[in-house]
Structure 1
Amino acid sequence: MERLPVVIFPKCHNSAEIIHVLTAQSNQNVIYTCQFCQYVIRNIETNKG
């Protein structure tokens, strides 16, 4: 089974797999959400590859 990248949260220092942290929006922006402390960063701009 393939292992996914793990994200360490900057506020609470817990960790989770990337699929549980990032949400892609239809406008190519990303929302970053910590499940533990509810820290959120919205509208993270990305480059279309």
Structure 2
Amino acid sequence: RRGLYRFANGRTANADINGAANILRKSKQNFDFEGLCKGLLDSPLRIRLS
């Protein structure tokens, strides 16, 4: 599906959120990813605009 990044273990994540997390990981070495909600990265909230 478009806009999804597939990990080696078969899970998918929104590509934009995955990219933002990678940038944050590289720019802030002391950021605690353990405290971050993994569910938010795996399945972001979908908002429909009409």
Q: Same fold (TM over 0.5)?
A: no
From the two aligned structures, give the one with the greater strand fraction.
Answer: 1
For the pair shown, the structure with the greater C-alpha radius of gyration is 2
From the two aligned structures, give the one with the greater helix fraction.
Answer: 2
TM-score normalised by length of structure 1: 0.32
